[in-house]
Amino acid sequence: MVGNDLRQRIRDKSVVIFSLIVPLALMGVLSLVFGGVGEDTVELRPATVIASADDADQLGAALLGTVDSLEILDVTIRRVPSADVRTETRASGAELGIIIPEGFSNAVLSGQAVSVQLVEGNGATLETSVLITVVQGIVDQFAAGTVTAAAGGMSGLPPQELAALAQQASAGPPLLTVTEGRAAAEQLSLRGTLVAGQAGLFLMFTVGFGVLGLLAEREQGTLARLRSMPVTGGAVITAKACTGFILGVAATTVLLAVGSRLFGVSFGSPPVVAALILSVVTAATSLTFVVARLVRTAEQANVAQSILAMVLGIAGGAFFPVQGTGFAATLLDLNPIGAFIRGLGISAGGGSLTDIAGPVAVMLAFAAAGLLLSRLLPNRGAQV
């Protein structure tokens, strides 16, 4: 029966349309709409800096040289007199103006207070913020020399030693450094969530074809002929559920594979992803037993399956993340599509089969609850 149903479903164009073509088309549209969203890098535009500094000032020249040699940003420095920095920055559209006072190096090395003035251009941009942060970091490094010189003077060191000590503190590496790392947040990116959510949403429609086939055969009289054979009613329902299960596994696998290539995302280890697919398809298939007990016609089954798919899909985050508090949060956590998306997030972050035990347990518990509910509900529809 399963083999015969699969052959019929493969010939049925509606299965291919609703299980693959429609979700892939929707992913393509979402890819165009959110094409620039979720990028990990930001492209910085070339920036212009209007600066004023004494050519003989070593620390001032070092500050401008560091800004000019930034690897993440293409910077062009234009030198003008200090009195013209403000007007030139605003008039030329430069991102930043830097005014380094005369005697800057002598002041730093002798422990005197000194200020570097920054002038933001018209309409401060991201490039302006980056430049300000860089200059601030360099000045903070120079400030270490000022503090060192002041401390040395209070300790009674000779003046000739103060300058060398302050220069060493200003030019040396910082005592503390920050290294950017990447932690596994166990959450999918926006693109990954869209792919996983659409796969989970349309999975609910795919597994429903098993129930639709059961009710269609009942209406056409094929089911009555099956009952005349030595086949139990449970075997017929199980065969239809197996058909939906196989179609669901195949369709979800294809959607994740094609969607990951289309959106440029990775869901991690294939065995871990396979375990999640089998779990979520099991949970979705359990609903077919519930629908089969409640409806009488294929039209009613189609409506019921659509309602369940949309409710679980939207609540699970098929289109956008959904959060709640209290009892609502508990219900959202028990959603198999939400658990599927969380599991893929763990897998994408490098998680193993052990790490996805929580989401898998939620999906299998949902499947068990669906099977139990189907046994308790009165059989109003598919009488087999």
Q: Which residues is 118 bridged to in the sheet?
A: 98
Q: Running DSSP on this structure, what letter comes out for residue 18? A: I
For 244, phi then psi, to 5°, come to: -65, -35
Using CA atoms, how far apart are residues 79 and 100, in angstroms rounded to an integer?
Answer: 11
Is 120 in a helix, a strand, or coil? strand
Q: In whole angstroms, what separates CA 212 from the centre of its chain?
A: 35
* Mean pLDDT of all residues in 144-151: 53
* Mean pLDDT of all residues in 59-85: 86
Selection from 302, 282, 283, 279 nearest residue 291 by Cα? 302
pLDDT at 183: 42
pLDDT exceeds cutoff 70 at 163? no
Q: Which residues is 50 bridged to in the sheet?
A: 78, 97
pLDDT at 51: 92
Cβ atoms 302, 204 nearer than 8 A = no
User: Kindly report the CA angle at 258 between 365 and 335, in degrees rounded to 5?
Assistant: 20
Q: What is the pTM of this model?
A: 0.59
pLDDT digits (tens, 9 = 90+) for 291-334: 777 777 767 777 877 788 888 878 877 776 666 666 666 677 78
* Mean pLDDT of all residues in 120-137: 83
What is the average pLDDT score of the chain?
76
Taking the domains of the chain in order of start, what are their residue ranges? 2-38+190-376, 47-171
Q: In whole angstroms, what separates CA 268 from the centre of its chain?
A: 13
For 47-171, which CATH class?
alpha beta
Using CA atoms, how far apart are residues 85 and 43, in angstroms rounded to an integer?
Answer: 27
pLDDT exceeds cutoff 70 at 158? no
